[in-house]
Amino acid sequence: MIEVRILESKPVAEVKLAGVVTQDNIKNMEDRILPALEQTNKLGFVIDVRDWDDITEDAIREDLRFEMKMLRRLVDIGNVAIISDKQWVAAVTKMLSPWFPGSALQAFTGEQKDEARAFAAEMES
């Protein structure tokens, strides 16, 4: 399951993954995020993966298709905060950060959710 909440006052998209993520979940996420990107200069993200258990093969394919489509929109992505209590998620987040020009990726624990939201809302002019 993926829940997407767009905080228009920030602008930030909060994305929560839980249980098993399916292809339909990825399509629904895309349907929420793309219009939000069209309405703002930059969109920050808070991605909470603490309750995420697994992902189906079809969902992986769908997500890769979506990610490839998003490559041309990288300049529209603000800071990305990943919330997880797993060390490997923090390590991967740190390794991927250089791949996002004009934004930053940073990992936060569940106890740091407010800090994660503030980080995602930081926008450079």
Q: pLDDT tens, 42-101?
A: 899 999 999 999 999 999 999 999 989 888 888 888 999 999 999 999 999 999 888 877
Domains and CATH numbers, the chain: 2-121 (3.30.750.24)
Tell which phi-psi region holds residue 73, choosing left (phi > 0), alpha (psi between -120 and 50) or beta.
alpha
Q: Would you say residue 8 has pLDDT above 80?
A: no
Residue 124 pLDDT level (bands cut at 50, 70, 90): low
Residue 26 pLDDT level (bands cut at 50, 70, 90): very high
Q: Distances in Å between the alpha carbon of 85 and those of 1, 69, 97, 107, 125?
A: 19, 29, 18, 9, 32
Q: Would you say residue 125 has pLDDT above 70?
A: no
List the structure tokens of 73: 């929109």
Query: How many other CB atoms are there within 10 angstroms of residue 42's CB atom?
Result: 17
* pTM metric for this prediction: 0.91
